[in-house]
Amino acid sequence: MDLALANGDLLWLVLALLVGGLATGFLAGLLGIGGGGVLVPVLFETFTFLDVPESIRMHLVLGTSFAVIVPTAISSFRAHRSKGAVDMDVLRRLAPFVIAGVLVGIALVSVVSSTALKWVWVVCGFLLALKMAMGREDWRLADDVPNNALVRLAAFLIGLVSTLMSIGGGMFLVSLFTLCGWSILKAVATSSGFGPIIAVPGFIGYIWAGWGNPELPPMSLGFVSLIGAAIIIPMSVLAAPLGVRVAHGISRRALELAFAAFLALVATRLLVSML
């Protein structure tokens, strides 16, 4: 490869990771999500360019995404909690079931194929895009989050699927809480509290699942690219409080529609890569 071309491509990759980090932090604060919805496509294209083996590419994408989500999720949660918007009782009540789902997800990551992980993202990505596009915040199943087996099962499944998608769970949790009668702001704030609960064990789990894999590229810790994480993390932490400030001050409908379109494009890109 021509040296000038290689240097140019590298510059664009670094710029893409920097922008992806800013977008990740901003969306984490604004929507209460872990940012994986933004990071996954950025990292997927990056690792495709770097010729990471197909058999572990998606694993490395998801593990590196979790490495970034950890500080971003903590920053977002602290910002929302400082405003008194997080329902700590619900957070404590559902946390054990979310963690149980994360642990099952980690066990699956160590045995499933890269193609299987892509299918999880494709199916859930399209469903989430549809939900956000519909934007029906008036749908209600309850007046508050009930303390019953169905909600605990939902928390477990959210932890499981979030681990397989490398997201902080906010996209699912916000939907759950708004269906239970919460305002969108309270739902976003409280869902941010589950981000670290999902991201920390998820990050450790992806390191464990990929430990010693002979196909890993240099500067990897299990299924975590240290170079990718080092570029993105500072930007995401910097932008998360800005997202929180915006979340507490504007209507989010236009952004929901834009993000729905983005999720649909990501799911389509992964689907095309399999076909």
pLDDT of residue 3: 40
Return per-residue pLDDT of the chain as tens, 275 residues.
334 434 555 676 677 778 777 877 787 667 656 566 677 877 887 788 778 888 999 999 999 988 888 887 888 888 888 888 888 999 999 999 999 999 999 999 989 998 999 999 899 889 888 877 886 656 667 777 888 999 999 999 999 999 998 887 877 888 888 888 887 778 888 988 998 999 999 999 999 999 999 998 888 899 998 888 888 888 877 887 887 777 666 666 766 776 777 778 878 888 988 87
Query: Residue 220 in 3-state DSSP?
Result: strand
pLDDT of residue 250: 65
The C-alpha atoms of residue 207 and residue 63 are separated, in whole angstroms, by 7
Contact 176, 73 (CB under 8 A): no
pLDDT of residue 6: 47
Q: What are phi and psi of 59, to 5 degrees?
A: -60, -45
pLDDT of residue 104: 96
pLDDT of residue 197: 92
Q: What is the DSSP letter of 144?
A: S
The C-alpha atoms of residue 73 and residue 193 are separated, in whole angstroms, by 8
User: Following CA atoms 81, 96, 32, 245 in sequence, which dihedral angle do they give, to the nearest 10 degrees?
Assistant: 0
Contact 144, 189 (CB under 8 A): no
Sequence-ordered list of residues with C-beta below 8 angstroms from that of 48, at least 6 positions apart, any chain: 57
pLDDT of residue 89: 93
Q: Tell me the pTM.
A: 0.80
The C-alpha atoms of residue 4 and residue 195 are separated, in whole angstroms, by 41
Place of tokens 């929180």: 244
- Residue among 91, 253, 258 nearest 170 (CA): 91
pLDDT of residue 237: 78
pLDDT of residue 2: 39
pLDDT of residue 137: 59
Q: Which amino acid is at 197?
A: I
**Within 10 Å of residue 40's Cβ, how many Cβ atoms?**
27
